[in-house]
Amino acid sequence: MMINHHLKFLLFSLIFKTGFSAEISVFVLTGDSVELDIQTKLPEFEELTWIYNKLESIVKYYSKFNIVNSYPAYNNRAILNETTFSLILENMQKKDSGLYTARINGQIINDIVTYRISVLDAVKAPVLTVNSVMFSSNSCTVNFTCRTQDLVINSNYQNNTCSQEEVTSQENNTLILSCSEELIMCNYSNPVSWKKDETKIKQLCVNKENEETKAKPTLLWLYVLIAAIVMLILVGIGIVIHRHTRKTGSRNEDNQL
């Protein structure tokens, strides 16, 4: 079988080499496969064993007989390449996190390479919430929140920009907030996955401008209506006062006669 058919992984590694040995840190997405290479030319050996956490054997290769022995716990998901001696581990789960070592036995016992594997779940998408939009003249200010289960960023978009911010959790999850002239972007990632949420600035600001433009004529008509009502009330009061004055004047004339 082709290795590429089996191998589905996201690999971020830091390699620290000292002489003949190396320790490599690898992050793997839950459910994916990973290939562990030898990383160096091997001397002659009688046996090569891949070991989990320095104790549990995964597979063993006997060079004299050209035989591979897979141990029961890994029968269905560990594949040894008998040419390069790399190890493919399939369907990785969180419980599989730990140290993986290639060890040779011959005249001497030597650990060739050790991988420190961390199996991580994919992150969930962040949520970008617009809290308020204020529009005045040619300026649009948007207050918003970028949120995940464990991280929060609050910020403002103004004058076609916002300050880029980044926060990281203890689990090495990173939340990044950034803006362009057109978008507010909220990116959430860990070493094996990445999700985002975004919103269009222009749409927010144009909608707010349209709302305020529509509101202005409404307010104008409201002011006109209030003024008309006040005028009617004043006219009514004037008529009542005028009638009362005329009636009082007529009574005074009658009394004089």
pLDDT value at 150 more than 80: yes
Contact 61, 85 (CB under 8 A): yes
pLDDT tens digits along 24-72: 999 999 999 999 999 889 999 999 999 999 999 999 999 999 999 999 9
Listed in sequence order, the residues at least 6 apart from 115 whose beta carbon sits closer than 8 Å to its beta carbon are: 23, 24, 25, 26, 36, 99, 100, 101
Stretch 241-255: mean pLDDT: 63
Listed in sequence order, the residues at least 6 apart from 13 whose beta carbon sits closer than 8 Å to its beta carbon are: 24, 25, 26
Q: Is residue 214 assigned to a domain?
A: no
Coil, strand or helix at 11: coil
Q: Is residue 75 assigned to a domain?
A: yes
- CATH number, residue 37: 2.60.40.10
Structure confidence at residue 236 (pLDDT): 76
Domain range holding 72? Answer: 3-120
| Radius of gyration, alpha carbons of the chain | 38
Whose CA is closest to 83, among 66, 96, 97, 95? 66
Instruction: Indicate yes or no: pTM above 0.75.
Output: no
- The last residue of a domain, from among 58, 90, 120: 120
Statement to judge: residues 74 and 178 lie in one domain: no
Average pLDDT value for the chain: 82
Q: What torsion do the CA atoms of 52, 55, 58, 63 make, to the nearest 10 degrees?
A: 120
Q: How far apart are CA 190 and CA 151, in angstroms?
A: 13
Q: Is residue 10 assigned to a domain?
A: yes
Report residue 251's pLDDT band, with 50, 70 and 90 as the boundaries.
low
Number of independent structural domains in the chain: 2
